[in-house]
Structure 1
Amino acid sequence: MDHAETVTFGGSGLDRVAELRGDAQAIDYARSQGLTRTIVLWRGKPLVRAGELDRLVRLPLEHPALADATLPPILLGREESGILVFATDISGWEPAGPEAESLGAFVDQSEQRHPDLEDAVFAELRRIMTRLTPRDAELAATAKALAGWQESHRFCARCGAESEMILSGWQRSCPACNAQHFPRTDPVVIMLITHGNRTLLGRSHGWPEGMYSCLAGFIEPGETLEAAVRREVWEEAGIRVGRVRYLASQPWAFPSSLMLGAQGEALNTEIVIDPSEIEEAIWVTREELLQAWTGDNPRLLPARKGAIAHFLLHNWLADKVD
């Protein structure tokens, strides 16, 4: 797709300055010249401007709110202004009264406000991702993925000893057995399966009523993208898939996936679901999907804006998949 990189979390052109990772002297110099800022995370939620929730807040690395940091700053990249941007995780901070009923919900509507940060709140990334600029969206997704990996991979998978963060957050090194560990990304296929004027949609157990999306699943070891598309669609819905082609990708830091969007041509139409995989699968016409997009389909909600499923379905509706 010619416009593949317009998907949310893609296409900002961030300079990730791999050559500066672990270069303490260069980072210290940038810091002394006022050329460093950090975005802030709390339990995976980025700090954004209150009210509109449309802009990441960038703080000096010396800001007092960062005293609750659970990790050293992680270097994300360098902006066109020359500023090095870091991510700081302050999940050790305990807010006075988080909205417990919203935390962990399908859509977390809660906002947390740090006493040292005026006019800023922590907000769930899936809730605000379409409000952010492409640059802020890429920074937030990268920060969330790296902070999550650092928190969940503290101990060496080879010997069990606690490892150390190195290379400005892009690697962990085990002092006991010298094993080196790198950030994890799990490849996932997500499929726009079509048959004439219809596309195949499914829903997982526990989703809100009326919510459907493209089928998706993890790529297995030793498997190609095309084979994964055919296997997942057959396992989940009993549909055989012929021609498969890659369309677009999206980093999806919930917690650590790379979504690989593909189109597949269905060879049959009779649906036989695996109830352990999905709750339901249905064929939807372009006309029915358009009604969902405009809010006029009583049984079908549009896919979540910002997710690659919405991107693929929107372009299929507009006949812009090629």
Structure 2
Amino acid sequence: MTPNELFPLDHPAFISHQLDRAAHLRFSDEKLFALEGKSDSRAYVVHRDSLVMKQDAAGPRALLTIAEALKAGANPGTIFLGLRDGAAVFGMGIGAAAVEALLTRADYVFSELRGMAMQGVVPPDQLSAIAMAKSLVSWHQRHGFCANCGIRTAMAEGGWKRVCPGCKTEHFPRTDPVAIMLVEKGDKCLLGRQKQFPPGMYSCLAGFVEAAETIEDAVRREIFEEAGIRCTDVKYYMTQPWPYPSSLMIGCSARATTDTIAIDHMELEDARWFDRDEATLMLKREHPDGLAGPHPFAIAHHLLGRWLQPG
């Protein structure tokens, strides 16, 4: 399948959620242990930005049995993600030493998640659950100690909470809101590129929503800070979970009231206005100068694609 077939307009990665989160089961360790021991239970095994997959005759498979996950070297202590068709699905982490051992084996595949998703190796309908696993595993690895008193905390409620045995403070996974926006002025839109982007790629500008800030204010502030453009008429489009490590991309559009660009080179390598014809060629990867837009995997592609739709 082509990237546009994998992620058609308005359907970026990580949004097709097929799990029943079954939050009521998080409060019973007994029930979770029983589910983990059932033959139809499955797990996603993640390490940093990568995924462990089982190599079958039909190709790599992301959803492992619990036995396969443990055989691969996944860490005990699973995170309950929910139920799929009545069967429990868990998230599991894996250490660096176990990953190194997997690289020498033919029965497992270990690769960066984003690349596999873009190529269709990982089915789009599984990406949301994998994003949950990746975000939660990363959170547990980075928040092992109480921010209040410094004592090591313990996993609770199926991995959706950590509790300090000393001061009893409860810690919950965080999601960081990020505003990502397509700014238009007449028949042109504003796109920028960062140094780490692939050569020739331009995308929508984005930035974290700060404390006590509305999404609308974040859009206006980020556009002005990064490109020196004033804008108004901020409108919401859609959101995309972004597990790098745990953000929520809030897609918006806005109308520019100025057009002179002043780039903050700490944030952007370049920014410029593109007309509709040029933007269309960029999304099609047919631009004569080799310029390209964002991949359909990302919400930025869909913001741009929606702007290019007639009417």
With over 3 angstroms needed to count, the CA separation of the structure-2 counterparts of 1:146 and 1:301, relative to structure 1, is same
Q: For residue 39 of structure 2, what is the amino acid of its counterpart?
A: G
Query: Is the CA contact (8 Å cut-off) linking 1:44 and 1:148 kept in structure 2?
Result: no
Of residues 205, 208, 214, the one that matches 2:204 is 214
Query: Is the CA contact (8 Å cut-off) linking 1:95 and 1:114 kept in structure 2?
Result: no
Matched, 1:267 2:257: yes
Moved more, 32-41 or 233-242: 32-41
SS in 2 for 1:129: helix
Matched, 1:77 2:65: no
Identity across matched positions, percent = 38
Moved more, 26-35 or 153-162: 26-35
Residue 31 of structure 1 and its aligned partner are, at CA, apart by 4.0
Q: For residue 92 of structure 2, what is the amino acid of its counterpart?
A: T
Task: Extract unaligned runs of 5+ from structure 1.
Answer: 98-111
Considering fraction of residues, name the structure with more helix: 2
Moved more, 295-304 or 84-93: 295-304
| CA deviation string 1:179-210 (max 9, x = no partner) | 11000110000001111111100111333321
Q: For residue 11 of structure 1, what is the amino acid of its counterpart?
A: S
With over 3 angstroms needed to count, the CA separation of the structure-2 counterparts of 1:308 and 1:22, relative to structure 1, is same
Matched, 1:169 2:159: yes
With over 3 angstroms needed to count, the CA separation of the structure-2 counterparts of 1:33 and 1:256, relative to structure 1, is closer
| CA deviation string 1:64-106 (max 9, x = no partner) | 425x3345111111002x1100011112434458xxxxxxxxx
Of residues 285, 296, 309, the one that matches 2:300 is 309
Residue 30 of structure 1 and its aligned partner are, at CA, apart by 2.9
Provide the residue aligned with 1:59 in structure 2.
Answer: 65
Query: Is the CA contact (8 Å cut-off) linking 1:4 and 1:247 kept in structure 2?
Result: no
Residue 63 of structure 1 and its aligned partner are, at CA, apart by 5.2
Q: For residue 24 of structure 1, what is the amino acid of its counterpart?
A: D
Query: Is the CA contact (8 Å cut-off) linking 2:235 and 2:252 kept in structure 1?
Result: yes
With over 3 angstroms needed to count, the CA separation of the structure-2 counterparts of 1:290 and 1:54, relative to structure 1, is farther
Provide the residue aligned with 2:135 in structure 1.
Answer: 145
TM-score (norm. length: structure 1) = 0.85
Q: For residue 291 of structure 2, what is the amino acid of its counterpart?
A: L
TM-score (norm. length: structure 2) = 0.88
Query: Is the CA contact (8 Å cut-off) linking 1:146 and 1:169 kept in structure 2?
Result: yes
Residue 9 of structure 1 and its aligned partner are, at CA, apart by 0.6
SS in 2 for 1:6: coil
Task: List aligned pairs for 1:152-163, cutoff 5 A.
Answer: 152-163=142-153
Query: Is the CA contact (8 Å cut-off) linking 2:29 and 2:157 kept in structure 1?
Result: no
Matched, 1:87 2:91: yes
With over 3 angstroms needed to count, the CA separation of the structure-2 counterparts of 1:166 and 1:205, relative to structure 1, is same
Query: Is the CA contact (8 Å cut-off) linking 2:74 and 2:98 kept in structure 1?
Result: no
With over 3 angstroms needed to count, the CA separation of the structure-2 counterparts of 1:195 and 1:236, relative to structure 1, is same
Name the count of aligned residue pairs.
300
**Separation of aligned partners in 1, 2:169 and 2:252:** 36
Of residues 225, 231, 247, the one that matches 1:241 is 231
**Separation of aligned partners in 2, 1:258 and 1:63:** 28
Residue 12 of structure 1 and its aligned partner are, at CA, apart by 2.4
Matched, 1:124 2:130: no
**Separation of aligned partners in 1, 2:10 and 2:78:** 28
**Separation of aligned partners in 1, 2:13 and 2:146:** 33
With over 3 angstroms needed to count, the CA separation of the structure-2 counterparts of 1:96 and 1:144, relative to structure 1, is closer
Query: Is the CA contact (8 Å cut-off) linking 1:212 and 1:303 kept in structure 2?
Result: yes
Residue 261 of structure 1 and its aligned partner are, at CA, apart by 0.2
With over 3 angstroms needed to count, the CA separation of the structure-2 counterparts of 1:114 and 1:259, relative to structure 1, is farther
Provide the residue aligned with 1:285 in structure 2.
Answer: 275
RMSD: 2.4
| CA deviation string 1:20-59 (max 9, x = no partner) | 1141222233345424221212333112355987741322
Query: Is the CA contact (8 Å cut-off) linking 2:53 and 2:62 kept in structure 1?
Result: yes
Query: Is the CA contact (8 Å cut-off) linking 1:17 and 1:77 kept in structure 2?
Result: yes
Residue 290 of structure 1 and its aligned partner are, at CA, apart by 1.4
Q: For residue 272 of structure 1, what is the amino acid of its counterpart?
A: A
Moved more, 194-203 or 217-226: 194-203
With over 3 angstroms needed to count, the CA separation of the structure-2 counterparts of 1:312 and 1:71, relative to structure 1, is farther
Task: Extract unaligned runs of 5+ from structure 2.
Answer: 1-7
Provide the residue aligned with 1:46 in structure 2.
Answer: 51
